[in-house]
Chain A
Amino acid sequence: MPVIEVADLVKEFRRPKRQEGSFAGLRTLLTREQTVKRAVDGISFQVARGEMVGYLGPNGAGKSTTIKMLTGILVPTSGTVRVAGTVPWRDRARNARQIGVVFGQRSQLWWDLPLRDSLWLTGRLYDVPTARFEEKRRQFTKVLDLGSFLDTPVRQLSLGQRMRGDLAAAMLYDPSILYLDEPTVGLDVVAKERIRAFVGELNRESGTTVVLTTHDLDDVEELCDRIVLIDHGKVAYDGAVAELKTRYAPHRELVVQTDALESVEGAEVVRREEGKVWLRFDPARTPPAALVASVLARHEVTDLSIVEPELESVIHRIYADRG
């Protein structure tokens, strides 16, 4: 049973066309001419309960716009969205109770007040019983290490601290679905890791469904089994991460540390550097074991390893190829 169902979803942004020349401002106000931007152009996909999906795409692909429709912020131009039986924009308040949302670019915390107050408000808004609230806050304070800045006004927090605060606020009322729109943007390696660990744990322990938008593919590699890749508002790929790799980057690389190696059958030398040779091969045609055996049989080898393609380079290739 899918918990999120999206079918033929479209969002167009209409703007009155900006007029040029004298009285431009007034004429812009009065004009009927509009510019139309189709940000989401017929997207369909489904997410099962407990799944973690990476929702990817280049800048301006329509990811945030989709998330805003899934969360009920935006009303779709056409198409349907159902999230656990509700239509988000129509039953906005009801849907809000079952979802947690973090926008990396925009905080939901109250800028002028201590983080503690924002958490308090969240507890109130979502009718979290006091005992449960205390328990959750204690838990998150520990796991997300909020203790040192609970009483600091949010505007004084670092980006990483603020993001952790936002995550705590989003999960305080145990929503079953979590939307993350660039939750690691601008964070250092340690902070990113902490957030990934937190989300991974939520999913394992509570079965939280996660839809994750990011430009850091390590987030996806660590958390998601499945990717929905969109471009120009349309779905370009929907499937397993592993399959995406075999489809777009079928080759593996064998890195051999050796003194002399000219060529090997079934593989192509793609790089040479400081006594290392990179051999690219297609595992479907040349079995790795056979290749390794034939290299070892003919050369003096001090070290060797097989390199899996990184999602990063795969996605990079897809973006570069798109017409």
Chain B
Amino acid sequence: MKAHLACARMEFRVALTYRTSYLSSFVMMLLQIYLLTVVWSAFYDGRDEVDGVSLSTMTAYATLSTLQYTLVSPWRSSPIDQRVREGKVAVDLLRPIGFPGQMLAGQLGWASAAVPVLLVALPFALLIGAGQAPASTAAAVAYPLALIGALLVNQLLGLLLGMVSFWTLEVSGALMAYRFVAQFFSGALVPLWFMPGPVRAAAEWLPFQATAYTPAALYLGQVEGYGMAAALAVQGAWIVALGALAAFVWSRARHRVMSQGG
């Protein structure tokens, strides 16, 4: 555990060295939040509610999913394919801790570098009226849990996908397709409650909703009471299932390590 924390801290520091991209991502984020409030206001077109969801809840959802996106995003899913291509896996395999654990720890460390940005962005979002307080005490408690769950599900999916590069190095196309599918079904663009029936059913059966929709919906009280526990349980189940699958895939990939160069 100490070793994993140390790996996470290294990636955290690396992320901090890219301060300029930091600043621009911050500006882009605020701009996106603003634009999304404009878009959803136009969509509501003067109505107070659509399908029982108020405009303020909707804009708060858009803000929340934008903010979360800096932490949990399929675009930053895994460094593995690059490390395989450059032969850096050899170095990872010299360390006295497991490979998947190292990758996960590093990714979580990197993602956590976004937390300060979030803390600064939050008041701005509230200032332009795009935010909302948690719907209830239960929501306030459940949200951080769901966010950590989202982080894990997203990273486990990325880990699995990254490990495909032990079989074929031509993963960039598949990775691109994955990201669009994952982003759409996560509910980051359009919440599940506005998806048409069959699409929504598909989204509910896929793991991606656990990476964006679940925490945001819990926060805004769109999922309440027993539903909250169920949503967290679904997330937990995905973490267990994906974790087991990742361990299995790694046990196979282990024999396929080529470690190019040198």
Contacts and interface: CB of A to CB of B under 8 A. Distances in A.
A106 B90 contact: yes
A93 B93 CA distance: 8
Contacts of A71: 93-94
A181 to B, nearest CB: 7
A167 to B, nearest CB: 14
B244 interface: no
B19 to A, nearest CB: 12
B258 interface: yes
B7 to A, nearest CB: 7
B132 interface: no
Contacts of B259: 68, 73-74
Interface string B1-30: 011011100100110010000000000000
B148 to A, nearest CB: 23
A97 interface: yes
B199 interface: no
A117 B5 CA distance: 14
A64 interface: yes
B91 interface: yes
A97 B96 contact: yes
Nearest to B90: A73
Interface string B228-262: 00000000000000000000000000110111011
B91 A108 contact: yes
Given A113-B10, A121-B10, A127-B2, A25 B170 contact: yes
B134 interface: no
A71 B91 CA distance: 11
Interface residues of A, number: 34
B91 A29 contact: no
Interface in A240-258: none
Given A13-B258, A74-B259, A75-B257, A108 B13 contact: no
A75 B90 CA distance: 12
A121 B6 contact: yes
The DSSP consensus for interface residues of chain A is: mixed
Contact of B95 (A75, A96, A103, A110): A96
Contacts of A29: 168, 170
A68 B261 contact: no
Nearest to B88: A106
B18 to A, nearest CB: 8
Contact of A108 (B3, B17, B94): B94
A105 B261 CA distance: 8
A189 interface: no
A33 interface: no
B6 A124 contact: yes
Given A13-B258, A106-B262, A73 B14 contact: no
Interface string A99-132: 0010101111010110001001100111100000
B94 A101 contact: yes
Contacts of B257: 73-75
A75 B2 contact: no
Nearest to B98: A93
B100 interface: no
A93 B10 contact: no
B91 A106 contact: yes
B97 interface: yes
B250 to A, nearest CB: 12
B93 A92 contact: yes
A72 interface: yes
A177 B261 CA distance: 23
B221 interface: no
B6 A125 contact: yes
Contacts of B88: 106
B10 A126 contact: no
Interface string A68-86: 1001111100000000000
26 contacts: A29-B168, A64-B262, A71-B93, A71-B94, A72-B94, A75-B254, A75-B255, A93-B98, A96-B95, A101-B94, A106-B91, A106-B262, A107-B91, A108-B91, A108-B94, A110-B10, A110-B14, A113-B10, A113-B14, A113-B17, A124-B2, A124-B3, A124-B5, A126-B96, A127-B3, A153-B17
Interface of A: 13, 25, 29, 64, 68, 71-75, 89, 92-94, 96-97, 101, 103, 105-108, 110, 112-113, 117, 120-121, 124-127, 153, 181
